[in-house]
Amino acid sequence: MHTPRPTALAPFFIFAAACGEDSASFSDAGAWQDVPTAADTFDTTPTETSAPPDTTSFDTAPADTLPPPPPPEDETDFDLRTPEAGDTFLYIPSAALDALVVVDARTLDVHLVEVGLVPTLVRALPGDAGAVVLNEGSSDLSIVRPLPAQGGLPPDPPFSVETVEVIPGANRLVVSPDGAFAFAFFHSTRQAPTTGSLQDVSAVSLDRPATAFNLAVGFRPEAIIFADQDRLALILCEDGLSGIRLADLVADTFLPPVATSSDPFRTPTDREVVPTPDGRFALVRSLDAHAIHLVDLQLGTLSALPLPDFPSDLELTADGRTAIVPMRAAQSAALVTVPDAFAWVPPPAPDPAEPTADNPFVRYAPTGAAFGSTVLTADQRHALLYTTSPGVQAIGMLDLANARAVIQPTVKELEAVVASPDGTMAALLHRRASGSGDLAQRDAWSLLDLATGYAKLIVTAQPVTDVTFTADQRELFALLPDPLGVAHTIQRVDTRSFNVHAYRVPDRPVFVGSLPLLSKVAVALDNPTGWITFIDTETDQILQLNSFELNSFIE
């Protein structure tokens, strides 16, 4: 039974250095108090403590002619070699068995499906249509699909397997959101290259029969981003963006990259590229200049927007119209209207001595702390502000409509922030070596209610390594493996009441995933024989598949 959240007002503390207000709060419905916006009262006089001056005069020179930029924010990168949960199936690659272990969470039946050599990565297809497995040992990709029952009897075998070759050495696997294509490529930051090209991507059409195409792209592909309702695949490379419309992908082809920098010989520092949802533009941020850039992916042009400080993060709203750019040293965030801010030209000033007009498509919000990272909330109306760098014990929230930020102190510094998909709360993972007194060297994480600003600190014996929300958003599960191998723990949180239950598990938990159609959560343990724990979130029943059950399928 879930405890309803009480109606209450709990204050966030408004950062009002330029706003003339002492504090503000917002109700548990998420409504802000009627206060002046930061944009109305933002002092643009260039002093040491004021907000940023006129943006049209900011220096966009390379970083080596400016004061040194801050260190990059540390974004959490969870292990890519973990199991994957579908709607009702759990998929676990077994490199030792050259097989994919498929667990039917409805019946707890376990199937061992032979695939290629040394399968390492698996991605579930939407709608329980199966999974795609990257076999690094045989340089191929296997598509595993469940077969329908025949004459009321279970199919034998229960899964079909189709395998196609991909480029040698591929170590990344991406499936398009609609499940129509899979992409395999070599990401050179994970290991030293062996032989072959650093500019090839295998694109596999998952129609029956599956067909693989070779895409020659820019140098060192890093990621694949989908846009225009998943009809456009953009391949982020070291020297730019290569792109193709998936409907046009019918043969091998080369895709010259569109440059994301005006200097093709300079390796960008902490670069981030975010395309607009329609795929027409891409925003580019790096720690190389006091600016962000807009790439027109149709025309191949590059436009700069000067900023008062190095942009340390970049988020874009779902409609593609507002970019949020936190700047740590300036202790402010820019709200940029896309693409208008990049096309605006200041009108000629009647008096050359007068300052140039402000860009009306850029608003600045003082944030109250050196925040360098941001996460949008589900309602797309607010952005959480924080930093992963030492020295700041606070989290902020920025209202995108009125460019006004509120701030809440935290007991310890932050390492990561995970916002719930329904926008009601967030999990704050803390840095161990922070805080004071008896908390200075303790692992901890917090639960933050976004409506009231209430935070609950949870002190733990081990650090949290991963969190996941259930499909109905009512619960949150956190993994706490013990580095000493003694007391591995899973914590289960009621996201309405913030009540926490702890479960001890016999081995190191490496994966937690929700199976949305079954109200179940699966936890995989780091055991060579494959221990899996299922928690039914409706009945609280805990079921475990141990090594003996899994071993019965190994011949």
CB contact at 8 A, 249 and 181: yes
- 426-455: pLDDT as tens digits: 999 999 999 999 999 999 999 999 999 999
Q: With 0-12 CB in 10 A as exposed, 13-18 as middle and 19+ as buried, what is 3? A: exposed
Which pLDDT score is estimated for 56? 33
Whole-Å CA distances, 312 to 223, 296, 330, 540: 19, 22, 11, 43
Which pLDDT score is estimated for 37? 39
For 207-234, the DSSP string reads SSSPEEEEEE-SSSEEEEEEETTTTEEE
Going by the DSSP 8-state scheme, the letter that residue 6 receives in this structure is: P
CB contact at 8 A, 337 and 343: no
What average pLDDT does the chain have?
84
- pLDDT of residue 224 exceeding 60, the answer is yes
Q: How far apart are CA 92 and CA 130, in angstroms?
A: 12
Radius of gyration of the chain (CA): 25
Tokens read off for 384: 């959480």
CB contact at 8 A, 326 and 346: no
Q: How far apart are CA 67 and CA 309, in angstroms?
A: 10
Of the CA atoms within 13 Å of residue 83, those in its CB half-sphere come to 30
Residue 190's pLDDT band (cuts 50, 70, 90): low
Which pLDDT score is estimated for 64? 55
Four-point Cα dihedral 347, 348, 351, 353, nearest 10: 80
Which pLDDT score is estimated for 450? 94
- pLDDT of residue 40 exceeding 70, the answer is no
Which pLDDT score is estimated for 191? 59
Higher pLDDT, 31 or 243: 243
SS3 125: coil
- pLDDT of residue 222 exceeding 80, the answer is yes
Tokens read off for 122: 């698996």
**Residues of 442-459 as b/e, b for ≥16 C-beta within 10 angstroms?**
bbbbbbbbbbbbbbebbe
Q: Mean of the pLDDT values across residues 534-547? A: 84
- pLDDT of residue 327 exceeding 80, the answer is yes
- 346-392: pLDDT as tens digits: 888 777 666 677 999 999 999 999 999 999 999 999 999 999 999 99
Lowest mean pLDDT among 136-140, 185-189, 501-505: 185-189
- pLDDT of residue 97 exceeding 90, the answer is no
Q: How far apart are CA 306 and CA 313, in angstroms?
A: 15
Q: Mean of the pLDDT values across residues 458-466? A: 94
Which pLDDT score is estimated for 62? 52
Which residue in the block uniquely carries the two structure tokens 């902490």?
Answer: 270
Residue 26's pLDDT band (cuts 50, 70, 90): very low
Which pLDDT score is estimated for 23? 29
What is the separation of C-alpha 369 from the centre of its chain, rounded to a whole number of angstroms? 23
- pLDDT of residue 154 exceeding 60, the answer is yes
- pLDDT of residue 551 exceeding 80, the answer is no
In this prediction the pTM is 0.84
Residue 156's pLDDT band (cuts 50, 70, 90): confident
Q: Mean of the pLDDT values across residues 472-492? A: 94
Which pLDDT score is estimated for 196? 66
Residue 414 CB contacts under 8 Å (≥ 6 apart), including other chains: 386, 387, 388, 392, 395, 428, 429, 430, 431
- 4-22: pLDDT as tens digits: 333 332 333 333 333 333 3
Residue 155's pLDDT band (cuts 50, 70, 90): confident
Higher pLDDT, 398 or 55: 398
- pLDDT of residue 76 exceeding 80, the answer is no
- 287-318: pLDDT as tens digits: 999 999 999 999 999 999 999 999 999 999 99
- pLDDT of residue 189 exceeding 70, the answer is no
